[in-house]
Amino acid sequence: MNPRDPAMFTSTRRAVLLILMVACYASPVCALARQDDPPDNREAVEALLDELADYVRKSGRDDPGDSAAIKRIDQLGKEFKLSGPKDKKAIIRGLGRVFLAKRRAEKDGSQKTAMFILAARGLGGMGTEATDPLLKWVDSSRHKNDLALQRELILSLGRTKSKKARKELQDLLKDVRPTFKGAAATGLGMFTHEPSKVRKELFEDLLKALMQAKANSLGQSSTAQKIWSALNGPATGSMRKLSRASANSPEAWQRWWNKNKRRDWDK
């Protein structure tokens, strides 16, 4: 072949360009230029976590509303969206440790502080890896009397959209405490992204709980009536979301289920 042949020159040039492109892609300079991955091990995140940990260790007397800690929690939530995997893991761990804070209990035994509520809510928006820190504090001895916090922890389990959280919510739906049942019912309605088979399973659990709660509420038990009141709205709302249908009573939902439980809800 003639070394001056245009075809040969073109193929050679392409090969050289390909080698240069691969070399550039692999080089640190080009890697920085691409910026495909979020930054990690950032000093700003480390500083915020250190400051939050310091507030958690304190009694809270100097800052009764925990406003400084709340500010750090809010900032860490924003940083989470900009973080790489290591920083994300550190932020989740840091927010999980907020619940170790010791705060003076109210007369009813609860520890009503926005710091705990916001930490739970923040974890709920951090994906599946936040499931375990949330599970650790659901019904924990340290915070079990704070029903407002327990409700937020349970709702945040739903926000993680993890399978582990979903299973826990199905178990909590069987709890005898109205707050727990209502929150679990709401949380299950956050799994609308699941395929038809899973949504049917969740729908059926909600329907059974709703039918049982209504039957029990017809008696004289005040507890049964509280359960019905706490469950009716959340369960109905979640059933609508999961099935993409509507009904105006548990009995109507039962009839709808009997007609539609075998069809594909994704079509």
Lowest mean pLDDT across 25-39, 106-120, 236-250: 25-39
Amino acid at the residue 52: L
Q: Which of 36-45, 64-73, 96-105, 199-208 has the highest mean pLDDT?
A: 199-208
Burial 80-113 (b: 16+ CB within 10 A, else e): beebeeebbebbbebbbbbbebebeeeeeebbeb
Which tops the pLDDT comparison, 6 or 241?
241
What tokens appear for 127 in the block?
């994906």
Report how far residue 247's alpha carbon sits from residue 267's, in angstroms, rounded to the nearest whole number: 20
pLDDT of residue 149: 94
Report how far residue 241's alpha carbon sits from residue 162's, in angstroms, rounded to the nearest whole number: 18
Does the structure show a pLDDT above 70 at 172? yes
Report how far residue 64's alpha carbon sits from residue 219's, in angstroms, rounded to the nearest whole number: 44
Q: What is the mean pLDDT of residues 232-238?
A: 98
Element (H, E) at 236: helix 222-243
pLDDT band with cut points at 50, 70 and 90 for residue 36: low
Lowest mean pLDDT across 36-40, 55-59, 96-100, 189-193: 36-40
Lowest mean pLDDT across 22-36, 108-122, 232-246: 22-36
Report how far residue 151's alpha carbon sits from residue 186's, in angstroms, rounded to the nearest whole number: 10
What tokens appear for 165 in the block?
């959280």
Amino acid at the residue 118: L
**With contact defined as beta carbons under 8 Å apart, do 203 and 243 qualify?**
yes
Counting residues of the chain whose pLDDT is more than 90, the rounded percentage is 74
Find, among 149, 52, 64, the residue nearest to 92 by Cα: 52
Alpha helices in 161-221 (DSSP H): 163-172, 178-188, 196-217
Distance linking the first and last C-alpha atoms of the chain: 61
The pTM assigned to this predicted structure is 0.84
